[in-house]
Amino acid sequence: MQQHKLREGLLDVTTTILLLIAVAAIVIPILAMFLTSIQPPVVARAPGIHLAFSPEWVNYRNLLLDEGFMRSLLNSLIVATGHTALAILVSFPSAYALSRSGNFRGKFLIALWIMATRCLPPIGIAIPFYIIFQQLGIYNTHFGLMVLYLTLNVSFGVMMLRSYLRNVPIEIDESAVIDGATLHVILAKIILPVIRPGIVATGIFVFTVSWNEFMFAFLFTSFRMRTAPVEISQFITPMGVQWTEMSAAGMLVIAPIIIFAIAIRRHFVSGLTMGALKN
């Protein structure tokens, strides 16, 4: 019995150490960027790693004063929020219809659709969209990006919302109809509160994808319309890189998402796993 306990204890220690190594591997790159962001530029320019320096917030201050960067953050916020609203608005009715339909057909359709949209490389479909957007006059606009991102998020949104909706028993719909709610608007006011957590979870996931998105934004925005990820790539110039400010910018861009990830972890995880399992 003693030997068994010893063996278990040893395995526990090994497991803990190995997982801690994994944690370190995940955290170290992010930590390195954070440390660089609070270094005074003079320190960062010198070669080698400096761990003993007095932290300064000068980089962040410079960023906040940088009109271009602050505007890009605002652009990201506008696009991400607007797109999330749009995506949910578009996904919800379809998700509802598919959740109430015959069991097999809905699932099969969605799986097929998701698979198809997954196969499209962003650069591939960017050019056709460029042409369409130019004709419509929405190239290089917030709205244009919001619509463009629908290609990324709607199939996912429909899938996620549908799975939440399938957990709402059809009896609720039926009793509402019996009570005289013929308009689906009214029905939406009954079902909507019930799946509000589902909508929030989907919304957060869609927001994150939109906030982080780079390629479409890079190709479809310029100058005043740039989003934050694109602005970060502009820090890399042929003349050299402003390390410290770029690190600070990077931290600012990932900070809100990290806060989401810690505070609302379960929503993220369900979104990520649903992206793969329901296939």
Other Cβ atoms less than 10 A from the Cβ of 185: the count is 8
C-beta of 114: minimal distance to other proteins in Å? 10
d(CA 146, CA 259): 23
229: its two tokens: 């990820």
Radius of gyration of the chain, Cα coordinates, nearest whole angstrom: 24
Stretch that binds other proteins, among 57-65, 78-86, 153-161, 191-199 (CB under 8 A): 153-161
Stretch that binds other proteins, among 56-64, 77-85, 190-198, 256-264 (CB under 8 A): 256-264
Q: Which residues 123-152 are close enough to bind other proteins by CB under 8 A?
A: 123-125, 127-132, 134-135, 150-151
Q: Which residues 174-193 are close enough to bind other proteins by CB under 8 A?
A: 174, 177-178, 184
Asked whether 172 and 112 are in contact (CB, 8 A), the reply is no
Stretch that binds other proteins, among 14-22, 62-70, 78-86, 161-169 (CB under 8 A): 14-22
Which of 54, 241, 236, 213 is closest to 122 using CA atoms? 213
C-beta of 42: minimal distance to other proteins in Å? 14
One of 121, 180, 193, 240 touching other proteins (CB under 8 A):
121
The single-letter code of the amino acid at 11 is L
Q: Which residues 75-114 are close enough to bind other proteins by CB under 8 A?
A: 90, 93-94, 96-98, 100-101, 113
5: its two tokens: 């306990």
One of 6, 27, 136, 200 touching other proteins (CB under 8 A):
27
Q: Does 234 bind other proteins (CB under 8 A)?
A: no
Count residues near other proteins (CB under 8 A). Answer: 93
| C-alpha atoms less than 13 angstroms from C-alpha of 141 in its C-beta half-sphere | 9
Using the structure block, give the residue that is written with the tokens 């399992």: 277
Query: In Å, how far are 124, 128, 170, 177 from 227, measured between CA atoms?
Result: 21, 21, 42, 45
d(CA 110, CA 102): 13
Specify the residue, 198 or 204, whose C-beta has the smaller distance to other proteins.
Answer: 204
Specify the residue, 140 or 212, whose C-beta has the smaller distance to other proteins.
Answer: 212
Q: Which residues 193-232 are close enough to bind other proteins by CB under 8 A?
A: 208, 211-212, 214-215, 229-230, 232
One of 6, 12, 55, 57 touching other proteins (CB under 8 A):
12
Stretch that binds other proteins, among 18-26, 54-62, 65-73, 189-197 (CB under 8 A): 18-26
Asked whether 72 and 227 are in contact (CB, 8 A), the reply is yes
C-beta of 112: minimal distance to other proteins in Å? 9
178 burial via Cβ count (<10 Å: 0-12, 13-18, 19+): exposed
d(CA 257, CA 57): 21
